[in-house]
Structure 1
Amino acid sequence: MQYSEYLIQKAEPILKEILNHPFVEGIKTGKLSQNAISFYVQQDYQYLDEFVHIYGQAISCSQDRVFAQFFNEQISFLMGQESKAHQILCQAAQLNYAELKNAIPSPKAYLYQSHMLRAGKTGSLLNILAALQPCPWTYLEIGRHLTANSTSENPYQDWINFYADSSTTTEKIFKFIDQLAKNATDNELKIATQYFLKSCELEWQFWQQAYYQEDWRFKQVLTAAEREPFS
């Protein structure tokens, strides 16, 4: 068994819950509240900003130019193409995308960002890839799942197609993970596995927070402190 297959096997219970989550179900049926979509787009924009930094850390840890070139391409994609998925959701929900880009990361988004940064600080490319892979992997699985269960009249169909067609990125990252795993110790693999599974859990948490708009209890305090200069 390849290490990537082992990771997928271990994450199966989490993936099942993601695919059955009410937010994902709402994408399938074309019925989601405007508040849920707004919260999701705001937080995902902040998360993807951090994802760019993680890819940058992956480049700095890459001793193989093939790795570095791939991560550089992913940065370009995130900076240019990933926003299309947000725009699809915003158009369907009649939201102004430009107004959703300056949110304070929610508690769970903040936790996810911190988790990714912690993987980067280990200096291990295997840990970094294990931590970031659940994002493209679970979105690919969501896209595939919804493609088989949605209709052409679905207002989110273009969003579904966008992620259902993202297999190349996921396959390459799993290939890199398997390549690095061959030279890793048992303890290193255990650590990487934890990064992978915790990121899978945090992907579920991300849908959960968006569906129920789970934000900071004292967000007004945070927002006021951010806007008011110290004097």
Structure 2
Amino acid sequence: MSFSQEVWQRNLTLYQKTLALPFNQQLAQGTLSREAFSHYVIQDAHYLLAYGRALAVCAAKAFEADDVIQFAEAAKIAIVVERSLHDGFMQDFGISKEQFEQTPLTLACHHYTSYLTSTAWSESYPVVLASLLPCFWIYAEVGKDIVDNSAPNNPYQAWVDTYSGEEFHTAVRNVIATVDRVAARVDADTLEKMHAAYTHAARLEWLFWDSAFEQRQWPGLDE
């Protein structure tokens, strides 16, 4: 069994809980509040900048030249998408540049981005790969479900359509293949570290969407 097959089975229940989150279900139904969606878009833009940095460090640690290219390109794409949010969905939903800049990272976003960047700097290449995989893979799988179940005249259809691009899904499959190739060469201790890194990041994926739906900032400390 490949690493990707095993890690997916180990975390299947967590994925199913992520799929069932009110944010994802209501996004597909078109009933998600504008406030929750705007909250998500702002935090997603913050997240993508940090994700791009983590991918860049991953590229620097890569074992093979092709992997350097793969993750350097992924880092570039993350930043390009972050910028496109400002020119697209933020404008469409009335989110100004000033509003974005004045909105700090939520606890969930801060936790997730801090985990990814600290892992990128401090851990070995295989473990870094595993920590970055959930954002690619879970996002893609949740996206497939949302696309398949999107309601007619969904006010969020333009966002839903971003999930369905074949170029993105090809990139996800290529990342999974790279992770499996690297995982096949590591020792047992490193393999378990990879599993732990994936699970932690997958939990933070769940937390990010849940936080967006509830529009949580810093629980107990919000003014």
Query: How does the TM-score come out when normalised to structure 1?
Result: 0.87
d(CA) in 2 for partners of 1:104, 1:201: 21
Instruction: Select which of 180, 183, 205 maps to 2:182.
Output: 180
Distance 2:186 2:103 in 1: 39
Indicate the residue corresponding to 1:7 in structure 2: 7
1: CA distance, partners of 2:133 / 2:186: 18
Paired residue total = 219
In the alignment, is residue 199 of structure 1 matched against residue 198 of structure 2? no
Name the aligned partner's letter for residue 160 of structure 2. Answer: I
Structure 2, unaligned stretches of length 5 or more?
Answer: none
Write the letter of the residue equivalent to 1:149.
N
Residue 11 of structure 1 and its aligned partner are, at CA, apart by 1.6
2:210 to 208, 211, 214: 208
* Amino acid in structure 1 at the alignment position of 2:81: Q
In structure 1, the residue matched to 2:171 is 169
Tell me the CA shift for residue 151 of structure 1.
3.3
CA deviation digits over 1:89-143, x for unaligned, max 9?
Answer: 5466x32253324421111211111211232133411111111111121111111
Tell me which residue corresponds to 2:41.
Answer: 41
Q: What fraction of aligned residue pairs are identical, expressed as a percent?
A: 25
Which residue number corresponds to residue 225 of structure 1? none
Q: Deviations over 1:46-98 (max 9, x none)?
A: 11111111011112102311011111211221122355467665466x32253
Of 192, 215, 218, 1:190 maps to 192
1:153 match: secondary structure = coil
Cα deviations by residue, 1:134-185 (Å, 9 ceiling, x for unpaired) = 1121111111101221134112222222123221121111111111111111
Would you say the 8 A contact 2:49–2:82 is kept in 1?
no
- Distance (Å, rounded) in 2 between the aligned partners of 1:30 and 1:88: 19
What corresponds to 2:19 in structure 1? Answer: 19
> Are 2:60 and 1:60 equivalent residues in the alignment?
yes
Task: Tell me the alpha carbon deviations over residues 6-48 of structure 1, each in whole angstroms, 9 at most, x when there is no partner.
Answer: 1111121111111111000111111112221222122111111
Q: 1:84 to 1:65 in 2, by over 3 A?
A: same
Q: Residue 215 of structure 1 aligns to which amino acid in structure 2?
A: Q
Q: Distance in 2 between matches of 1:85 and 1:139?
A: 17
* Matched residue SS, 2:11: helix
Select 2:221's aligned residue among 218, 221, 230. Answer: 218
Secondary structure of the structure 1 residue equivalent to 2:27: helix
Look up the equivalent residue of 1:182 and give its one-letter code: A
User: Please, which moves more after superposition, 21-30 or 111-120?
Assistant: 111-120
**Most deviating of 146-155 and 134-143:** 146-155
Question: Does the residue aligned with 2:104 lie in a helix, a strand or coil?
Answer: coil
Q: For residues 91-130 of structure 1, what are the structure 2 equivalents within 5 Å?
A: 94-98=93-97, 99-130=99-130
